[in-house]
């Protein structure tokens, strides 16, 4: 029985997170825009799927020029999506389903239409002036460090009213907040406190490395940026003991640990290094890139955890691959220029990146759930949804959820031209063929495979909690790894190649140990023990528990 305190307190260690944008998930009032009412009505689907935590992308008032990541009020819900009352109703009902909610915390920058920025630019004596980062003279190399190359030209933009340049890591309509100003940090805590009070279990910390940098603020060049993360952590734990922060920090492997500290900063960090190598490995049909990435991960403090993901609402960032490696992934997953973005990534969804090959998609999900960490699923990927490359930049992967074969894919009853974004229609990814209703009826659908993987993951706390290591396999196509926790062990093998193979594991266990198979991509004959050759179909996967006492729960 899992009754001890740590397991329950560190709930995120074996959670299943589902990331969604309220705007494109379900429209409850028929105006063409997803909303909290629609989302609340779909909680049964999410709970039934096996999800345990929702991550909501920004739903705050916004001019919506960067998918809501440009906020004008941190203490409200965008009127298109509902009211604060709707949020509380949603949060209450989510709790009833046993679902936790984590919300996006976008504090690196505001919208330029935010009243703070408007006050700051118009009056140099405004108390809000120091909330942003200004320079009287144009700083050198303002083109260096842009996040959206090809679309964004500079990180310093002249403001006529302020008679100064303001600093913005992202688009010019997203001025950076000045984290060195104490009042800004106080306000950040007030925002966190507000949403905690409304029932959330934590935050996805947007753009963490930029949030804490104090670049351009005179006198603060030598500040230790990580102090801010500790401050946020302490505040969070005083207010809500088990609340967490999931940080977006796409940094080099040598910098990852800085975000965890001694377990006193962020609890979860997206595993960007593994994400990039995972796709390289899938493209090559070889385990080596993934094995290398896994081996390079630093050991985490007890409270720390990796957040494993396949795709998210942005382009897949391949910026840390070598030019040749990136070219390989482009060639296989996004060969046309229109599929690539910002000189570093692919703006396609998971299924089209894997050529719609259902075996390969299932393999990717098996990796997602079994690799060390907490899995995050991006809405619609559990169906194998496609993308719409006619939409600009990253909007290609942000089309409405496909619920049924009814008009607008069941997303909304509004006339088609009123939809927030077109629903994908026609072809193999169109809602007519690909939707929740059909996928639930088809036992072989990606949705049903994902659901079974989730169920199995939930019965394997070793994967979220355990000490893991890769296992040596005598086939270059096979990734094998093992997780141990409290005298229980899970062993997982994946064949990244397209041809069937039989693999023998060299160091799966000290001596041949009997195994029980938990889940696989097909029907295999049982193997006797860890020394036994293991058959795997092309793109096959098999999860085993090493025989011991067996799990009572």
Return the active site residues: 206, 248
Residue 28 to residue 168: CA distance in whole angstroms: 36
Give the nearest distance from C-beta 286 to ligand GLC in angstroms: 30
> Measured from the CB atom, is 66 or 382 closer to ligand GLC?
66
Going by their DSSP bridges, the two strands 164-167 and 134-135 should be labelled as: antiparallel
Instruction: Check residue 133 for interaction with ligand GLC (CB under 6 A).
Output: no
Per-residue x/- marks for ligand GLC, 207-236, CB under 6 A? x-----------------------------
Give the nearest distance from C-beta 56 to ligand GLC in angstroms: 13
> Measured from the CB atom, is 191 or 515 closer to ligand GLC?
191
Residue 158: beta bridge partners?
Answer: 165
Give the nearest distance from C-beta 145 to ligand GLC in angstroms: 14
> Measured from the CB atom, is 105 or 232 closer to ligand GLC?
105
> Measured from the CB atom, is 16 or 106 closer to ligand GLC?
106
The crossing angle, in degrees rounded to 10, of helices 272-284 and 358-370 is 150
Tell me which residues in 281-340 interact with ligand GLC (CB under 6 A).
313-314
What the block records as the tokens of 368 is: 């997602």
Instruction: Check residue 159 for interaction with ligand GLC (CB under 6 A).
Output: no
> Measured from the CB atom, is 30 or 392 closer to ligand GLC?
392
Give the nearest distance from C-beta 69 to ligand GLC in angstroms: 3
**Cβ neighbours, 10 Å, residue 322:** 10
Pick from 528, 507, 49: which is nearest to 544 by CA? Answer: 528
Tell me which residues in 233-252 interact with ligand GLC (CB under 6 A).
248
Which residues fall within 8 angstroms of residue 31, CB to CB, at 6 or more apart? 80, 412, 414, 418
Residue 346 to residue 262: CA distance in whole angstroms: 35
Residue 514 to residue 526: CA distance in whole angstroms: 10
Tell me which residues in 48-87 interact with ligand GLC (CB under 6 A).
66-67, 69
Give the nearest distance from C-beta 279 to ligand GLC in angstroms: 18
Give the nearest distance from C-beta 177 to ligand GLC in angstroms: 12
Tell me which residues in 454-483 interact with ligand GLC (CB under 6 A).
none
Helix (H, G, I), strand (E, B), or coil: what is residue 120?
Answer: helix
What the block records as the tokens of 111 is: 């919208």
Tell me which residues in 99-118 interact with ligand GLC (CB under 6 A).
106
CB 59 within 8 A of CB 77: yes
Instruction: Check residue 170 for interaction with ligand GLC (CB under 6 A).
Output: yes
CB 121 within 8 A of CB 145: no
Residue 389 to residue 243: CA distance in whole angstroms: 37
> Measured from the CB atom, is 106 or 280 closer to ligand GLC?
106
Give the nearest distance from C-beta 171 to ligand GLC in angstroms: 8
Pick from 275, 201, 287, 290: which is nearest to 12 by CA? Answer: 201
Helix (H, G, I), strand (E, B), or coil: what is residue 534?
Answer: strand
> Measured from the CB atom, is 209 or 285 closer to ligand GLC?
209
- Which of 78, 86, 206, 325 is the binder for ligand GLC (CB under 6 A)? 206
The residue number whose beta carbon is nearest to ligand GLC equals 69
What the block records as the tokens of 470 is: 């890769």
Residue 423 to residue 433: CA distance in whole angstroms: 12
Binding site residues, ligand GLC, CB under 6 A: 66-67, 69, 106, 170, 206-207, 248, 313-314
């Amino acid at each position: 029985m899992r009754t001890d305190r740590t397991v329950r307190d560190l709930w995120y260690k074996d959670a299943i997170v589902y990331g969604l944008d309220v705007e494109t998930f379900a429209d409850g009032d028929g105006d063409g825009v997803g909303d909290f009412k629609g989302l609340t009505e779909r909680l049964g689907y999410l709970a039934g799927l096996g999800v345990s935590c929702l991550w909501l992308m920004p739903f705050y008032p916004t001019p919506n020029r960067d998918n809501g990541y440009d906020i004008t009020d941190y203490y409200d819900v965008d009127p298109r999506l509902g009211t604060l009352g709707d949020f509380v109703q949603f949060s209450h009902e989510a709790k009833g389903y046993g679902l936790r909610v984590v919300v996006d915390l976008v504090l690196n920058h505001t919208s330029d239409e935010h009243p703070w920025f408007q006050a700051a630019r118009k009056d140099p004596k405004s108390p809000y002036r120091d909330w942003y980062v200004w320079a009287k003279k144009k700083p050198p190399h303002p083109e260096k460090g842009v996040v959206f190359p090809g679309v964004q030209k500079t990180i310093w933009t002249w403001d006529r009213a302020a008679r100064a340049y303001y600093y913005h890591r992202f688009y010019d309509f997203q001025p950076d907040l000045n984290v060195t100003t104490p009042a800004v940090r106080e306000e950040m805590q007030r925002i966190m406190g507000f949403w905690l009070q409304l029932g959330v279990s934590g935050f996805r910390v947007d753009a963490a490395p930029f949030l804490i940098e104090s670049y351009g603020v005179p006198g603060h060049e030598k500040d230790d940026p990580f102090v801010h993360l500790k401050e946020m952590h302490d505040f969070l734990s005083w207010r809500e003991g088990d609340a967490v922060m999931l940080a977006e920090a796409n940094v080099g492997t040598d910098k990852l640990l800085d975000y965890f500290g001694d377990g006193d900063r962020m609890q979860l960090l997206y595993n960007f290094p593994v994400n990039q190598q995972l796709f390289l490995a899938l493209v090559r049909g070889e385990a080596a890139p993934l094995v290398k990435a896994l081996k390079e991960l630093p050991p985490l403090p007890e409270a720390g955890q990796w957040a494993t993901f396949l795709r998210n609402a942005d382009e897949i960032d391949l910026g840390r691959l070598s030019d040749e490696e990136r070219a390989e992934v482009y060639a296989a997953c996004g060969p046309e220029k229109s599929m690539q973005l910002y000189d570093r990534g692919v703006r396609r969804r998971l299924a089209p990146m894997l050529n719609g090959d259902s075996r390969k998609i299932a393999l990717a999900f098996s990796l997602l759930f079994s690799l060390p960490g907490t899995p995050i699923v991006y809405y619609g990927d559990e169906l194998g949804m496609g993308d719409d490359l006619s939409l600009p930049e990253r909007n290609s992967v942000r089309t409405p959820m496909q619920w049924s074969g009814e008009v607008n894919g069941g997303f909304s009853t509004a006339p088609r031209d009123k939809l927030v974004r077109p629903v994908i229609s026609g072809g193999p990814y169109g809602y007519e063929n690909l939707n929740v209703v059909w996928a639930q009826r088809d036992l072989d659908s990606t949705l049903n495979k994902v659901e079974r993987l989730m169920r199995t993951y939930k019965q394997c706390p070793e994967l979220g909690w355990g000490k893991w290591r890769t296992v040596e396999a005598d086939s270059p196509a096979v990734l094998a790894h093992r997780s141990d926790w409290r005298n229980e062990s899970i062993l997982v093998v994946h064949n990244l190649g397209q041809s069937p193979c039989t693999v023998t594991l060299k160091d799966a266990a000290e001596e041949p140990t009997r195994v029980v198979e938990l889940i696989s991509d097909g029907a295999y004959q049982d193997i006797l023990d860890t020394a036994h050759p293991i058959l795997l179909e092309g793109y096959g996967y098999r999860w085993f528990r090493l025989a011991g006492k067996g799990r009572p729960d």
